[in-house]
Amino acid sequence: MKAAASESAEKVTSAVREQAAKVGEKAKTIAGDTGKKIEKALNEQRATGADYLQSMAGLVHQAADVFEREVPQASRYIHQAAQQIDTVADAVRTKNVQDAVHEMQDFARRQPAIFFGGALFLGFAAVRLFKTTAPRSGQNGRQAGQ
């Protein structure tokens, strides 16, 4: 009876191991498929993101041109930040996401002043962009009441 119980326990253990192996393989397959789908989606959005970054770089260059007469030193830094945005746009277009992030981190370590200055400028530009594109509910309410 002891031998039969031991044999049954061994069969159950073996069956559990088999099922665990099958579940593990299925999980690996699902994870691999999910990773491929995420990578595909990121690659599809890469061109759009690169175009957006290049247009932002153009705007930053225009802003630097405005500063050229008044504050030439600031203009030079702003142009450098715009060039880095162009570099990032090219990286986004041609490299995978991990490489682009790594490149941006390297630049931030090598040129922290330009990186943070550019980030600050982009922050101001984003705020200004959102202010100009946001609907103004106060004006609509006044117009309706008039």
DSSP state letter for 95: S
Residue with tokens 């002891």: 2
pLDDT single digits (tens) 44-68:
777 787 888 888 888 888 888 887 8
The residue ranges of every structural domain in the chain are: 2-132
Residue 146 pLDDT exceeds 60: no
132 pLDDT tier (thresholds 50, 70, 90): low
97 vs 23, residue with greater confidence: 23
**pLDDT at residue number 53:** 82
Nearest partner of 61 among 43, 42, 48, 80, judged by Cα: 80
Structure tokens at 7: 């044999």
Structure tokens at 50: 């690169």
Q: Nearest 5°: phi and psi at 115?
A: -60, -50
Nearest partner of 85 among 65, 56, 117, 111, judged by Cα: 56
